[in-house]
Amino acid sequence: MVVFWLLYDAICRVFGQREKGDAIVGALVLVLVCVASWLACHWFAGRAAFLLVGAMLATAMSANVFFWIIPGQKKVVKSIAAGEPVEPIHGARGKQRSVHNTYFTLPVLFAMLSNHYSFLYTHKLNWLVLILMMFAGAAIRQFFVMRHGWKLGRNRHPLGYALVGVVVIAAVVAWLTPQPSEAAKAPVGSADYAALKKVLEQRCYQCHGAQLQMKNVRLDTPQAVKQHAQAVYQQSVVARTMPLNNATQMTDAERVLVGRWFEGGAKTE
Q: Under the criterion CB under 6 A, does residue 243 sit at the interface with ligand HEC?
A: yes
Which CB atom, from 51 or from 139, has the smaller least distance to ligand HEC? 51
Nearest distance, CB of residue 47 and ligand HEC, angstroms: 8
Nearest distance, CB of residue 113 and ligand HEC, angstroms: 16
Which amino acid appears at position 236 of this protein?
S
Spatial distance between the Cα atoms of 131 and 102, rounded to a whole number of angstroms: 17
Which of 71-104 are b and which e, b meaning 16 or more Cβ less than 10 Å from the residue's Cβ?
ebeebbeeeeeeeeeeeeebeebbebbebbbebb
Count of residues that interact with ligand HEC, criterion CB under 6 A: 19
Nearest distance, CB of residue 89 and ligand HEC, angstroms: 47
Nearest distance, CB of residue 60 and ligand HEC, angstroms: 27
Spatial distance between the Cα atoms of 179 and 61, rounded to a whole number of angstroms: 38
Q: Out of 168, 232, 256, 257, which residue is the one contacting ligand HEC (CB under 6 A)?
A: 232
Contact by Cβ (8 Å): 121, 115 = yes
Which CB atom, from 170 or from 214, has the smaller least distance to ligand HEC? 214
Contact by Cβ (8 Å): 94, 70 = no
Sole window of 2-10, 100-108, 139-147, 240-248 interacting with ligand HEC (rule: CB under 6 A): 240-248
Under rule CB under 6 A, which residues in 161-220 are in contact with ligand HEC? Answer: 203-204, 206-208, 214-215, 217
Which CB atom, from 116 or from 154, has the smaller least distance to ligand HEC? 116
3-state class of 195 per DSSP? helix
Spatial distance between the Cα atoms of 117 and 16, rounded to a whole number of angstroms: 37
Which CB atom, from 114 or from 236, has the smaller least distance to ligand HEC? 236
Q: Under the criterion CB under 6 A, does residue 46 sit at the interface with ligand HEC?
A: no
Which CB atom, from 107 or from 243, has the smaller least distance to ligand HEC? 243
- For residue 239, the tally of other CB atoms under 10 A from its CB is 14
Helix (H) or strand (E) holding 88: helix 88-113
| φ, ψ (nearest 5 deg) of residue 213 | -125, 80
Q: Under the criterion CB under 6 A, does residue 250 sit at the interface with ligand HEC?
A: yes
Which stretches of the chain bind ligand HEC, using CB under 6 A?
203-204, 206-208, 214-215, 217, 228, 231-232, 235-236, 242-244, 247-248, 250
